[in-house]
Structure 1
Amino acid sequence: MTKAQSPASGAPIAVAAPVDNSVENPYLLGVFAPVENELTLDDLTVIGEIPKDLNGVYLRNGPNRRFAAPGRYHMFDGDGMIHAAHFENGKVRYRNRYVRTEAFERETEAGRSLWTGLMENPKDNPFGNGHGLGIKDGANTDVIYHRGQVLATWYLCGSPYGVDPLSLDTIGAQDFLGTFAGDMMAHPKVDEETGELIWFDYGPDMDYLRYGIIGADGTQSHVTQVDLPGPRLPHDIAITENYSVLMDLPLVQDQDARRAGKYRIFYDRELQSRFAVIPRHGTGQDVKWFEAKPCYIYHVVNSWEEGDEIIMDACRVKNPQHQSTFEHPLSNMLAYMRLDAQLYRYKFNLRTGKTTEYALDDANIEFPSIDSRIMGRSHRYSYNMSLGNEPTLLFDGLVRFDSLTGNKEEHKFGKGRWGAEAPFAARDGSTSETDGYLVCFVNDEAEDRGEIDIFDAENLADGPIARVLLPQRVPSGFHATWIRSDQLAEGAGR
């Protein structure tokens, strides 16, 4: 059965070309181009066999611009669209839906764009986020499962939008039973042992981070302020059983541009990287600061405790402002979006205050994930995306990295085939970090369609054990999550 619908009842989805037709924006073309239909598909061609012990739902978020906006388009400008593959007893259903943010609903009513993009002056935009950044919150970046619903988040801090994990219906901006006010960054962390959601937020005029916890009961149980030398742009957080690690990194907002009403970032090579280790339920006064070499970190792999040390593995970007090697009128934006990151380890000694840091591998890999059941505890394996040597942000393969031996097992998608973040999907009764599968969307440029590929996590190099063919592309986007069937059952009972 195939069902298609448009976001506004009976109205076609308006996906227009860039306003400046003299500059073709690569993030609106090819595998990045928006799709026009919201589909529900449950009768799909399967090559191979879907394992019957793979039960749960794989969701991936990303930008899918609905209305063309004035000025230059950036990938973070697109309206959030979640794509989902729901597996049950050897069957799969695909569904995609927009996240119905407040901005999305406003533009739907107007029938046109009301916001300019990230790279334009936002002075005439209707509103922005809670901290005065006047850019549209598209809820297009990550998907985090907590207490029966998915939270769709945004890159620069915004309202976490609740979404039903199966229907993908938007529940709405979450205030956690009236206890939460402000914004949430893109990558809050869930401790499955305690049921807590750990988050922070920041703003263009804030010389501090707000750090807090949403408890297992769904209300904010803790919030504190961590002072900074000035406004910063941290992207991720690390958690252990008893601590959290916040970041003060040298990628900062240009304050002259801010005073002119614009959003512009730059890499200040004169600054060190600093890491704030805070007890999970501690205050800003309890922070221990650790210095390290300048860098930027988009994504943390995991963190844990060993004796006096906090150990954190991350994808470290040595130079986030490198020069693009591709000729293009939008070369600055393209350069920022082309990641060059390596797996890296930090050790923060709480007794001596010493930082130890070193590379774990030299491959260009990013968008890491681990078995979510052990988040904040020691892990051995991470599952990562290999970045293609392309002008745009494209993943050409999967990499399983063994942090104990340093060995890698890889799968390349093939020429003209690009994948999506592939979190570990534990099989029913799984007992280890590799006892399960990887699920990801793959776009085939030659066929101009997408598919769902399933891999045995123990034998990644053997390639997919099943491929589910889709009639339309799944535009290349950002982050994904896997929700196990036991989590879905528990969430349904709330």
Structure 2
Amino acid sequence: MDRRRFLRTLISSTAGLALGAAALRSAPAFANDPAQFAEGVQAHPWLLGWRSVTSETLGPATVDLQGRLPTGLAGTLYRNGPAWSERNGLRYDHWFDGDGMVHGWHFNGDGTLSHRARMVATPKFTREQKAGRFLYPATGTSIPNAQAVRNNDDANVANTSVIGINGRLFALCESGSAFEVHPDTLDTLGPVTWRPDLAALPFSAHPLVDRDGSLWNFGSISLLGGAGLLVWHIGKDGQLRSANVIQTPERGYLHAFAMTDQHLVFVLAPFDFNAAGGSFFERMQFAPQRPARIAVVAKDAPDKAQWFEAPFAAIYHFGDAYQRGDGIVLRAVRRDNMDEARSPMKEAMAGDGAHASNGRTSLVELHLDMRRGKAHWQDTGISTIEFPLFDPRTAGNRGARLYAPTVEGPATAPYFNAVAAFDVDRGRRQVWRYGTDILAEEHVFVPRPGSRDADDGWLVGTLLDPVNARSGIAVLDARHVQDGPVVQAWLPYAVPLGFHGTFVARS
């Protein structure tokens, strides 16, 4: 069977396996009560970060910048995250379930900042808006009387990340197509089909941009009930270069991956499905008694993998990866509690602010010996971080400086209240604490125009101030994080916490 026919057979034979169990479930839903959540917000205002929006659009709002915008910083921070999580007396149980909303934080040239946001008009969201209730299976919540889905995009929430390619903007999630949105209006233009036989196949939420401007990504067939990795390569021009399937030895969960100058590295956490039925994350049980399977794929041979094994690790996000002699070193954030790994901030979604926890995380290194075929984990001693990013201009033979939200000092919420820069190899850390009540999100690195030196640029990150019911944005000098924001702005309203974003410089 040729590769294109194989891909088409793959999607047609597996699309119903993982989602179908939830679609056919007739038992009562394991979902939350919106009224209970509303009561929780009254007692714990920081739960605003998990509140559902009730409007398809927010803004546009224009506010003054506090401080002076650095010369050369011009453009838009786009962010994406779950935003619509309640309908008809039902509230999603899992943070990953809410329909996606893309935000545009636009730095104007006149000392102001403008914000607008719009729901991604996926088929799921559009149909459920019309019906006034949830219709389709969710990743982590059982929906009563859910309709069967024909393909992944019937249940696609496009809620995890956003990426710019050749002047175009795409909203991404784990299990279906990228959805293109207009970079100015944020109107949804529709799902992207990179090639007709690849329609609706998973195009995951963490693509990585290579030094030549091309983009690598993967699709996890495990999310569809099978086993395998679909490796995507998209050119700088936004056209498909290749799509290859790598067979995997067993089911393994992965949300992101790492990349060196020559290789892609995929770490699969083994899991089993229980027989009780329900949504994907309700059925999925991590299998820490089995080793993680690690695929190393050479960029010049993306249809083949060299396989390694290492002790089990539950990981959502990776930092940098680099070549060291005959091996590869990569950094990742490991989650130590399996239940919290399956459903982060579960209590917050239920409005239980008194017992909510973000779980313990540790920054670990994976060392791969390419010659001997061996792999092992090494602890860095850094904990309580997530969403690590770095300057991709860093040389490919050394570790990068990592930027990540963290916790510093007392915090009202069981969430991040600071941002830090970590020089792991030298054991150095710089940190800026926003305050006891502020919730800090991912901070994107933006290079200074015209510079070539790694880490010469800024961090641009979003914030939530629940005491004053407002969301904000901050810009810090990446080399002097401890000095705090050089410029900051606050909206007159609060938006839900999201996951990931990208900065698109003004041309």
Q: Is residue 50 of structure 1 aligned with residue 72 of structure 2?
A: no
* Structure 2 segments unaligned to the other structure (5+ residues): 1-30
Distance change >3 Å, CA 111–CA 329, structure 1 → 2: closer
After the TM superposition, which of the residue ranges 47-56 and 369-378 deviates more from structure 2?
369-378
Query: 1:414 — aligned with what?
Result: 435
Query: 1:293 — aligned with what?
Result: 311
Distance change >3 Å, CA 336–CA 23, structure 1 → 2: closer
Structure 1 contact 73–117 (Cα < 8 Å) conserved:
no
The correspondence for 1:220, drawn from 224, 240, 262, is: 240
Deviations, residues 317-371 of structure 1 (Å, cap 9, x unaligned): 2333369999899699999972422221112121111224312233211101112
Query: 2:459 — aligned with what?
Result: 438
Query: 1:145 — aligned with what?
Result: 164
2:185 alignment partner, SS class: coil
**Aligned runs of 1:252-267 on 2, under 5 Å?**
252-258=271-277, 263-267=282-286
Query: 1:305 — aligned with what?
Result: 323
Q: Is residue 399 of structure 1 aligned with residue 417 of structure 2?
A: no
| Richer in helix (by share) | 2
Structure 1 contact 361–406 (Cα < 8 Å) conserved:
no
Structure 1 contact 238–303 (Cα < 8 Å) conserved:
yes
1:84 alignment partner, SS class: strand
Give distance in 2, aligned partners of 1:342 and 1:158.
Answer: 30
Distance change >3 Å, CA 332–CA 263, structure 1 → 2: farther
Query: What is the one-letter code of the residue matched to 1:60?
Result: R
Give distance in 2, aligned partners of 1:466 and 1:391.
Answer: 24
Query: 1:8 — aligned with what?
Result: none
Cα distance, 1:108 vs. partner? 2.5
Give distance in 1, aligned partners of 2:503 and 2:234.
Answer: 21
Structure 1 contact 107–113 (Cα < 8 Å) conserved:
yes
**Aligned runs of 1:64-463 on 2, under 5 Å?**
64-65=83-84, 67-68=86-87, 70=90, 72-89=92-109, 90-115=111-136, 117-121=138-142, 124-128=145-149, 130=151, 136-154=155-173, 156-176=174-194, 178=196, 180-181=198-199, 182-202=201-221, 203-250=223-270, 252-258=271-277, 263-282=282-301, 284=303, 286-321=304-339, 338-374=358-394, 378-387=398-407, 394-463=415-484
After the TM superposition, which of the residue ranges 156-165 and 94-103 deviates more from structure 2?
156-165
Query: What is the one-letter code of the residue matched to 1:46?
Result: L
Cα distance, 1:147 vs. partner? 2.3
Query: What is the one-letter code of the residue matched to 1:198?
Result: N
Deviations, residues 70-91 of structure 1 (Å, cap 9, x unaligned): 3643211211111221224354
Give distance in 2, aligned partners of 1:45 and 1:143.
Answer: 26
Cα distance, 1:237 vs. partner? 1.2
TM-score (structure 2 length as normaliser): 0.81
2:252 alignment partner, SS class: coil
TM-score (structure 1 length as normaliser): 0.83
Structure 1 contact 190–196 (Cα < 8 Å) conserved:
yes
Structure 1 contact 455–464 (Cα < 8 Å) conserved:
yes
Give distance in 1, aligned partners of 2:436 and 2:353.
Answer: 25
After the TM superposition, which of the residue ranges 64-73 and 265-274 deviates more from structure 2?
64-73
Give distance in 1, aligned partners of 2:281 and 2:365.
Answer: 35
Cα distance, 1:42 vs. partner? 5.8
Query: 1:13 — aligned with what?
Result: none
* Structure 1 segments unaligned to the other structure (5+ residues): 1-16, 490-494
Distance change >3 Å, CA 228–CA 325, structure 1 → 2: closer
Q: Percent identity?
A: 27
Give distance in 2, aligned partners of 1:362 and 1:346.
Answer: 14
Give distance in 1, aligned partners of 2:352 and 2:285.
Answer: 11
| Backbone CA RMSD of aligned residues | 3.5
Structure 1 contact 60–82 (Cα < 8 Å) conserved:
yes
Q: Which has the higher contact order (CA 8 A, sep 6+)?
A: 2
Give distance in 2, aligned partners of 1:456 and 1:119.
Answer: 38
Query: What is the one-letter code of the residue matched to 2:321?
Result: S
Give distance in 1, aligned partners of 2:489 and 2:324.
Answer: 42
Deviations, residues 200-249 of structure 1 (Å, cap 9, x unaligned): 32234212222232233433322232223433221111122221111221
Query: What is the one-letter code of the residue matched to 1:231?
Result: R
Distance change >3 Å, CA 106–CA 328, structure 1 → 2: closer
Structure 2 contact 215–236 (Cα < 8 Å) conserved:
yes
Cα distance, 1:449 vs. partner? 0.9
Cα distance, 1:109 vs. partner? 2.7
1:480 alignment partner, SS class: strand
Structure 2 contact 320–400 (Cα < 8 Å) conserved:
no
Give distance in 1, aligned partners of 2:257 and 2:77.
Answer: 23
Deviations, residues 128-176 of structure 1 (Å, cap 9, x unaligned): 58469x8x3211111122222222112x412211123333222211112
Structure 1 contact 320–336 (Cα < 8 Å) conserved:
no
Query: What is the one-letter code of the residue matched to 1:170?
Result: T
